[in-house]
Each structure stands twice: as structure tokens, then as C-alpha cells.
Amino acid sequence: MVAGTAATVVAVLINGHEIIKTLIQKPVETQEGEEPPVKYYTLQVRTVDAEGSICTEIDLLLPKPVYLQAWIEASGEGANPADGGPISIEMQSGYDYIQMTEGSPFSNGRTVVLEALPSAPQGDADASATILVSAPLEGQPFSAPVTIKLVRGGFQLKFSGGEAYE
């Protein structure tokens, strides 16, 4: 038996952007010439609108829901997405503006629906909500905040191709 080092690589991605990447190493016994196992876990988080496009804003004047989806991907010898659960999703700020409800579950993941409250204050121009997504990957807690900006879009009137009359 030879002492080796097993490695676990953990990454957290929000809307395709890597937020955290960590390497966890553990001593393991291996046979002569055997490579220590390497596991890869990724906590994927994405925020989308009803059409599935990346969306990080809720318009308080024309409110449409934003769906926050979180799931775990795993690869490598002995890696299993179930090793990284359960996924926790908690709202940390923005309670005056949006509500969070549980959405449809899917394999190794969760969905929450974020919607503007009818009573949301209309005066704060730089409001946002922060949602913390976390999961214990390989026994280590990993979390990342997701920010949803609250905007007041409304309508913009444009004129084009007109003639002037006297």
C-alpha cells in the first residue's frame, strides 16, 4: 500500500460565471501504480425568466417572475450529485420587494420563484434582493450570494419618420 492524496475539486457557478473554486485533498491508501481518485463537484446556479433567458432583474412596474435554479453536477470516480445535498436557498434581503416560493423540483436540484410583491415600495431606485444558495459538497459548506436587481422599467416613447405640419 502506498499513501496517496485524493482530491475533490469544487466549483460554484452563477449564470455561467465561476464564483468559487476549491481543491480539497485527503490522504488515501492506494495500490502500487494506482492513481488516487479525483472527484469534481459543481454547484450550478442560474436565474432565468419564463422563456429560459438569463435574467437578473425584476421590473416592479411590469412584474414577471424570475426562476432561480440550483443543482449539483458530479464527475470522477465515486462522485455522485447526491453527495452534495441538500441545496439550501434562503432570501437574505429584499423582503419588502419580492417574495420567494418553492418551484418545481428536478433531479439533484431545486427551483424557487421570485416575484415582485404588489405592495413593493416604488421609490427606491437602487433596490435589490440577495438570495444565498448553499450546499455541503464533500462535507464542506459552500455558498454563494445571488443578487436580483429591482428596476422600474415602464415605457419609453420614441418618434421616427414623421413630417412636420404648419
Torsion angles phi and psi, residue 81, rounded to 5: -55, -30
Q: For 36-82, how does the pLDDT look when each residue is reduced to its tens digit (9 = 90+)? A: 788 899 999 999 999 999 999 988 777 899 999 999 999 988 888 88
Look up the pTM and report it.
0.82
**Interatomic CA distance for residues 126 and 159, integer angstroms:** 29
For 66, counting Cβ atoms within 10 Å of its Cβ (0-12 exposed, 13-18 middle, 19+ buried), the class is buried
Q: What is the arithmetic mean of pLDDT over 19-43?
A: 83
pLDDT at 25: 85
Q: Which domains does the chain have, with CATH numbers?
A: 2-151 (2.60.40.10)
Least confidently predicted of 30-39, 66-75, 98-107, 151-160: 151-160
Q: 10: which strand partners?
A: 22, 41
Nearest to 120 by CA among 61, 75, 51: 61
End-to-end CA distance of the chain: 97
Chain segment 131-149, per-residue pLDDT in tens = 999 998 888 888 999 999 9
pLDDT at position 123: 60
Length of the chain: 166
